[in-house]
Structure 1
Amino acid sequence: MLELKNKRVLVVGLGKSGLAAAQFLKERGARVTVSDARPATLIAELPSLLEQGFSVEAGSHGLLTFRRQDLIVVSPGVPSSTPELVQVRALGMRIIGELELGAQYLQGEIIAITGSNGKTTTTSLVGEILKAAGRPTLVGGNIGRPVTAMVAESVALSNNPSGAEAPVLSAPQDGRAEARPLQSGTVWSVLEVSSFQLETIETFKPRIALVLNITPDHLDRHGSFEAYATAKARITENQTADDFLVLNGENKAAQMVAAKTKAQIYWFSARRPIKQGVFVHGESILFVAKEGAIAEPVMPVSEVPLAGAHNVENVLAAVCAARLAGVSSEVIRGAVKSFKAVEHRLEFVREVRGVKYYNDSKATNVDATEKAIAAFAGGVHVILGGKDKDSDYATLAPLLRERVKTVITIGSAAEKIERQLAGVVKIENAETLQRAVAKAEELAVAGDTVLLAPACASFDQFENYEHRGRVFKELVQAL
């Protein structure tokens, strides 16, 4: 655990996690400076920060400011290639992220979930299952609360334990898994973690780590798919033989993470039986606690309340994590059946004159958009576009030909999308989301589906994907 009292600490980036980290550091006696490249006029929290005694640098990053610190804490949105970070890293200065900082202080056990798609749904579902089992549970990380903002509650829950024994699987010397109880009332922190956060870990070690899938994303920041996949794989970097790694048995890049871990490996698959983990057989979801054990039924696939084959995979991963954490199949089944779709993830908005509108604003990469379109049999009018992430939209062509009537483009990536998909399907350029919804209403007939699944980041026209999704829903409600 870091000693922070009287240390000079610089927080770079004043998004949600940066602000949380700054407050966390100050509460522990650090001498905190915050630095954000945005002009001061765009930092709404600036007056409050100054009033609380923070040193603030805005409009640019100063190299001298960086060099005068004992520790630098970087927000996920700040690229590691930022020139000042590159220079002080070369000088041997310690640079960590908000995830690493907060995780060192969290009490209890961590379940960490990463992947190109499905992170938020799976993280939320695991949290709901653990809560249904009566376990003291916190959910956050890349969604909801920053990790540093979870620490105080984890300490409070740990000091006032409640809940049942939490048996988890353990690895004796013979390598076979068996049940081992944790201390009664153990606090579980369920964290969604991104490649940006994993870039800056040092000691971060989840008891249970999940890699849902790895497909091309954020190539504009990581530079290559290989670098992106390497960042994802760091989730298991510090795990030991007493920990667990849950991997997608049908995703090649996720499978390759198996070679990089010391943890016990569990798999999930919706396509075939597996020796250790969770899979679909016929109409049932089954769990195998260890190789050679009898598969136990968890629930029928028909009881999964979420649309799309990709959400079946998300449920399988959540089931595996929950069983490893000692939750009974009965509790898991009840929690999954009552789970509601997360906002902006293939979220049904409204039916207007026989046309159904769905909001999947969280589909910020091509693979996520492909999964969203695949959830519908046909008659789809899909809204694509936003800020390009160096993506290849041509990979969507076969599915577009099969199920999509119209592609409606918006944002700065529109020209690239139109060029790569020329001749594949009818394309309409709407420029803005407002015009796209109007165009979709004009084109769609009863029985069709209008789907917002942009395959792009939102930052060219919106604050984030949540803002984009809310605007879409407001436009649909106004039809």
Structure 2
Amino acid sequence: MESLQAARRRGVRVIGELELASRFLSAPVIAITGTNGKSTTVTLVGLILEQSGRRVFTGGNLGTPLCEAALATYRAGSRTRNAPSAVYDYLVAEVSSFQLETIERFHPWIAAVLNITPDHLDRYPSVDSYALAKARIFENQTGEDFALLNLDDERVAGLRKGLRARALGFSRTGRVSEGAYLDGDRVMTIIGGREEEVCRRADIRIPGSHNLANALTAITIGRVCGCRSEVIRRVLQTFPGIEHALETVGERRGVRFVNDSKGTNVDATLRALESLEESIFLIAGGRDKGGDFTKLQEPVRRRVKRLILIGEAAARIQEAMGPFDRISHAATLRDAVELAVRQASPGDVVLLSPACASFDMFMDYQDRGRQFKALVKALP
């Protein structure tokens, strides 16, 4: 905003909601960032802590702003001298790169980075500058804190250099010195030198290898917070996922409809395609955020029966698909759904995973997802 830029030019300090709220909170903050998977992981961590009897605030960029927790703490302070502990034991916050740009003293006890892949390149000049914004989550940590890194992600693993916090890791592909990892079909943790089997791979209800990584993050955080393995396992067995993230919203005449409207970048759509076993009618497109759509070319060729494009980025996505020609264009989401319904066969899946932002046609990704769900619900 021009007013904020003008204030900065005059030497006025500008902070964001995350920084402001954190100054009024003393309960431990568990902050989670990454390109994809933040909302799922934050929700999982909140459920694990709640099921373990902890008093938890879950929010941030996920939906409920952290200022709501600050306000609740402030109001409690008018009634008790011990306000923070009277309200929350933990604050679990989804944190975006945009929010981290304006921190000064924001200090999470546990800070986790799930992954870093190209996104928001309409805002950042390069992936490296985007990664630097994400890395600010560790900026104010000390040796009493924990930094949790995805060791399967080269960019994230590289953030370990210079950390002041105690480093933890998670991996789907190899053992870690401290954190969580997959050993065959066993999900293992090593915390404080103690190794323990928490659950089996099949206990994790949410599908996809990316959700395994999200679960490993939540498992590590739960164990650091002292949650018992049986509680963690029970949450993983029953957690169905979140709205707009690989959400099955209905089935009509043998065709399944999946709402992945939260897939606002190329990497998210890649993960959605990898997670489904059926032949796919993919509805994609929207406002381009600078993503490399050519990365979709090979998985689309292998997995997609028809690609249905909507929104501003439709022409650019089609160009990126190279020789793949099973492509249709639709003026509206309704048209896209109706086209998919006419052509899909029993056993197929119609997947909304746009790989783009929503603001060209919708209020936000939630609006896009809810409109998709309403269209599916209205099918004869």
Normalising by structure 1, report the TM-score.
0.76
1:208-227 superposed matches below 5 A:
208-227=110-129
* Counterpart position of 2:260: 360
**Residue of structure 2 in register with 1:117 after alignment:** 36
Q: Please name the residue that 1:254 is paired with.
A: 156
Q: Which residue number in structure 2 is paired with residue 127 of structure 1?
A: 46
Q: Are 1:446 and 2:346 matched, yes or no?
A: yes
Q: 1:323 to 1:370 in 2, by over 3 A?
A: same
The equivalent residue for 1:24 is: none
Give the Cα–Cα distance (whole angstroms) in 2 for the partners of residues 157 and 323 of structure 1.
Answer: 29
- The answer for the alignment partner of 2:196 in structure 1 is 296
Contact 1:236 1:260 in 2 (8 A): no
Task: Name the structure 2 match of 1:307.
Answer: 207
Question: Is the CA contact 2:76–2:86 (under 8 Å) kept in the aligned structure 1?
Answer: no
Q: Does 1:339 align with 2:239?
A: yes
Corresponding residue of 2:18: 99
Deviations 1:239-264 (A, max 9, x none): 00100011101111111221142111
Structure-2 residue corresponding to 1:286? 188
- Separation in 1 of the partners of 2:242 and 2:353? 15
Measured after TM superposition, the shift of residue 448 of structure 1 is 0.7
The one-letter code sitting in structure 1 at the alignment partner of 2:209 is A
Of 118, 121, 134, which aligns to 1:232? 134
TM-superposed deviation, 1:327: 1.2
Distance in 1 (alpha carbons) for counterparts of 2:235 and 2:76:
22
**Partner Cα separation in structure 2 for residue 376 and residue 280 of structure 1:** 21
Gaps of 5+ in 1: 1-81, 163-182
Q: Secondary structure at the match of 1:298?
A: strand
Gaps of 5+ in 2: none
Shift of 1:294: 4.5
Range with bigger deviation, 84-93 or 377-386: 84-93
SS state at 1:307 partner: coil
Question: Would you say the 8 A contact 2:311–2:360 is kept in 1?
Answer: yes
CA distance in 2, matches of 1:327, 1:161: 24
- The question of whether the paired residues in 2 share the 8 Å contact of 1:364 and 1:457 is answered with yes
Mapped to 1, the partners of 2:112 and 2:373 lie a distance apart of 31
Q: Which runs of 4+ in 1 moved over 3 A?
A: 154-162, 183-186
Matched position secondary structure for 1:387 = coil
The alpha carbon displacement at 1:107 in A equals 3.2
The corresponding residue for 1:468 is 368
Which residue matches 1:199?
A: 101
Once the two structures are overlaid, the 10-residue window that deviates more, 368-377 or 152-161, is 152-161
CA distance in 2 between partners of 1:110 and 1:402 (Å): 43
Query: Structure 1 residues 199-208 or 267-276, which shifts more?
Result: 267-276
Instruction: Tell me the distance in 2 between the aligned counterparts of 1:160 and 1:453.
Output: 49
Give CA-to-partner distance per residue, 1:41-60, whole Å, 9 cap, x none: xxxxxxxxxxxxxxxxxxxx
Per-residue CA shift, 1:49-94, capped at 9, x if unaligned?
xxxxxxxxxxxxxxxxxxxxxxxxxxxxxxxxx4443332132111
Whichever residue aligns with residue 312 of structure 1, its letter is L
Correspondence 1:140 to 2:59 = yes
Q: Which residue of 2 aligns with 1:72?
A: none
**8 Å contact kept, 1:161–1:186:** no
1:273 corresponds, among 175, 180, 187, to 175
Does residue 456 in structure 1 map to residue 375 in structure 2?
no
Identity of aligned residues (%): 44
What are the Cα deviations for residues 20-40 of structure 1, in whole angstroms up to 9, with x where unaligned?
A: xxxxxxxxxxxxxxxxxxxxx
1:394 aligns with 2:294: yes
Aligned-pair distance for 1:340?
2.5
Asked whether the 8 Å contact 1:157–1:187 carries over to 2, the reply is no
Aligned residue in 2 for 1:371: 271
Secondary structure of the 2:329 match is strand
For the structure 1 residues 469 and 186, does the alpha-carbon distance in structure 2 shift closer, same or farther, using more than 3 Å as the test? closer
The alpha-carbon deviation at position 295 of structure 1 amounts to 2.0
Q: Secondary structure of the equivalent of 2:324? A: coil
**Distance of 1:460 and 1:235 partners within structure 2:** 31
Q: Return the offset for 1:154.
A: 3.7
Counterpart-to-counterpart distance in 1, 2:220 and 2:73? 24
Task: Please state whether the residue corresponding to 2:15 is helix, strand or coil.
Answer: strand
Question: Helix, strand or coil for the counterpart of 1:221?
Answer: coil
Greater Cα offset, 327-336 or 201-210 = 327-336
From the superposition, tell whether residues 425 and 325 of structure 1 become closer, same or farther in structure 2 (CA, over 3 Å). Answer: farther
Change (3 A) 1:478 1:271: same
1:274 Cα offset (Å) = 1.4
Q: State the alpha-carbon separation in 2 of the partners of residues 319 and 196 from structure 1.
A: 27
Amino acid at match of 1:98: E
Paired with 1:87 and 1:157, the residues of 2 have a C-alpha distance of 37
Structure number with greater CO (CA < 8 Å, separation at least 6) is 2
Q: Tell me which structure has the larger Cα radius of gyration.
A: 1
Structure 2 counterparts to residues 148-187 of structure 1, below 5 A: 148-154=67-73, 187=89
- For residues 122-154 of structure 1, what are the alpha-carbon distances to aligned partners after superposition, in whole Å with 9 as ceiling and x for unaligned? 000100000001111001110121111221334
Instruction: Tell me: CA distance 1:155–1:297, structure 2 relative to 1, closer, same or farther (3 Å).
Output: farther
* Cα root mean square deviation, aligned: 1.9
